[in-house]
Amino acid sequence: MRRAIILQHLDREGPGFIADLCQQRGLGVNTVRLDRGASVPAALEIGDVLVVMGGSMGVADIADARYPFLAREVELLRRVLAKKQPVLGVCLGAQLLAHAAGSRVYPNQRPDALGVLRPWREVGFGEVTLLGSDHEPSLVGLPERVPVLHWHGDTFDLPVGSVRLAQNDVCANQAFRIGRHAFGLQFHVETDAALVRAWAEEDSDFVRSALGPNGPSSIVAMCEKAVREMRGAGERLIGNILDEMLALAD
């Protein structure tokens, strides 16, 4: 049976409906809990799909003894890319994918009122603009602007030879593909309201650093409505990506 191998880094950052969409496509779902000591697979079997989820750690933490799995994930991603096997990276997963493909990952920045570049954490519900929905199979059936959830402080340069699929004014590289087999999404669409509430509560310091003292409560207050609004487009986007990767793997 073909499988979706899902690498999870934190209890609160599970695959959400990505797992459901994989099962609907006949994939067995194997969630690898790296945060609980599970080992990073050495390689993918033929026909498998790799999904790398988000987390509070980053590429800058690869040498950190607290996260021994990060370096092994990068090794796996490099092997997967070399073999052109299917892989989807979400948030941290997209950053690791970009790093494995040879790109720089670094803190996102914006100029302040004086034009000085300052770190800029993009947190909360917002939108991205999709690029190429008239010809990109992964964007078929989607409007030009879609609602998403942002939760990151880092960004990345596009890997050489990749195609940008989404952007916004805060972060230019919101989504990309490498060939037809590797996709990275800097944003989240897979979450439900319960997950978002957990993020706002458990990651409250990060939220306050981006949105101020009332940031966590404001996200919690809007999460039910916002998650409903992003669900349809989110499922279509992830479904399109899975269908494109699986067609390539046939």
Q: What is the mean pLDDT of each run of 10 residues along the chain (250 residues)?
A: 95 96 97 97 95 97 96 98 97 98 94 80 97 93 97 97 96 96 98 94 95 96 97 98 87
User: Please, are residues 23 and 198 in contact by the beta-carbon 8 Å criterion?
Assistant: no
5, 7, 73, 76 from 42: Cα distances, Å: 12, 13, 9, 6
186, 209, 232 from 53: Cα distances, Å: 10, 23, 20
Supply the range of the domain harboring residue 145.
3-249
Catalytic one of 73, 127, 188, 223: 188
Catalytic one of 73, 122, 127, 190: 190
Which stretches within the chain are classed as H helix?
17-24, 69-83, 92-100, 193-202, 204-211, 215-249
Residue 125 has what pLDDT? 98
How many separate domains does the chain show? Answer: 1
Residue 250 has what pLDDT? 63
The model carries a pTM of: 0.96
User: Please, are residues 41 and 77 in contact by the beta-carbon 8 Å criterion?
Assistant: no
Whether 144 is a known active-site residue: answer no
Q: For helices 92-100 and 69-83, give the axis angle rounded to 10 degrees.
A: 60
Give per-residue pLDDT as tens, 153-177: 999 999 999 999 999 999 999 999 9
Catalytic one of 91, 150, 171, 244: 91
Whether 9 is a known active-site residue: answer no
- Residue 105 sits in a domain whose CATH number is 3.40.50.880
Give per-residue pLDDT as tens, 48-79: 999 999 999 999 999 999 999 999 999 999 99
Residue 249 has what pLDDT? 63
Residue 100 has what pLDDT? 98
Whether 190 is a known active-site residue: answer yes
